[in-house]
Amino acid sequence: MIDSGDGQKLEQFGPYRFVRPEAQALWAPRLEKSAWQEADGHFITSGQDSENGGNWRLNNSLPENWQMQFEDIHFFAMPTSFRHLGFFPEQSVHWQWCAQKIKEFIKIHNRAPRILNLFAYSGIASLHAANAGAEITHIDASKKAVQLAFDNRALSKLEDAPIRFITEDALQFVQRELRRGKSYDGIILDPPKYGRGPKGEIWQLHENLPSLLSNCQQLMTNSPLFLVATIYAVRLSIISVHAAIANSFSNMGGELTSGEIALIEDDTVSSKPPRAIGQALYARWCGLAT
């Protein structure tokens, strides 16, 4: 994030800059207007619907997609109709935390942990965890998202990595795995506020999250590693999210932490302290395995 203010944020993704709405930017921008006007893309909201509606206004020279890299993982970025760029950079703190725990688990148990990634989207979390040594089951209800994950896997040269890609409703998959007696050492989930499965299944966060968390707890092995949950665009407090996960995992010991993940302005563009904008609520439960 290069600058923010007046209800917007100016960001750079690889060589390209974009302006996106940001209701939490209640202050004035620090850069000149020209820095904003010269961006390669602007997301324009439609009418008064600042949360959902809108369209991109893109420069003609902007490619359909372009390559980016985080550590050893390569992936595509592109403007999407959901106003994001095909991935969520603020989640990189989760990717790194999971990788550290995966490596600790391997040292202790001398085997690869089995990780379930629900609502896995474009697969960067799956690829990063697999690169750290885990076996991954990647679940997303969107065929288009799973195809993007395939493309990112090829770009990262991880075609031989132990990743299962499955297009399915997350809650139904978890329930079926329980009936089959399957188990996982770690679970990553990034549930939307509202969504539909490939067969029209309806997901509503407030209604379905408690049962999903309960099912996830039952899916854990006897050497539980972690559960990482990220929740966007909901009218929930982190206190509620923390309590919901504690309710499902309290009998398993371990440690539960929670808070917000945020984007922080680049501190090289201004002499003033960088400002941060919260993007999502998160909770991380780490079991006794490490």
Q: Give residue limits of the domains in the chain.
A: 3-62, 89-286
Same fold? 3-62, 89-286: no
pLDDT tens digits, one per residue of 3-60: 999 999 999 999 999 999 999 999 999 999 999 999 999 999 876 545 667 899 999 9
Nearest to 129 by CA among 166, 102, 107: 102
The total number of residues written for the chain in this structure: 290
The token pair at 114 is: 């089995």
The token pair at 198 is: 């490939």
Quote the pLDDT of residue 51. 60
CATH fold label, 89-286: Rossmann fold (3.40.50)
Strands 226-231 vs 255-264: parallel, antiparallel or unpaired: unpaired
* Residues of the chain where predicted confidence (pLDDT) is lower than 50: 49, 289-290
**Which residue has 């972690």 as its token pair?**
226
Count of C-beta atoms within a 10 Å radius of residue 162: 14
Interatomic CA distance for residues 210 and 188, integer angstroms: 15
Largest CA distance in the chain: 59
CATH fold label, 3-62: Immunoglobulin-like (2.60.40)
Long-range contacts of 33-38 (CB under 8 A, 24+ apart): 35/2, 35/3, 35/10, 36/3, 36/8, 36/10
Q: How far is CA 79 from CA 13, 20, 201, in A?
A: 10, 11, 27
Whether 63 contacts 15, CB under 8 Å: no
- How big is the CA angle at 125 (ends 142 and 187), to the nearest 5 degrees? 85
Exposed / middle / buried, residue 105 (Cβ in 10 Å: 0-12, 13-18, 19+): buried
Quote the pLDDT of residue 272. 86
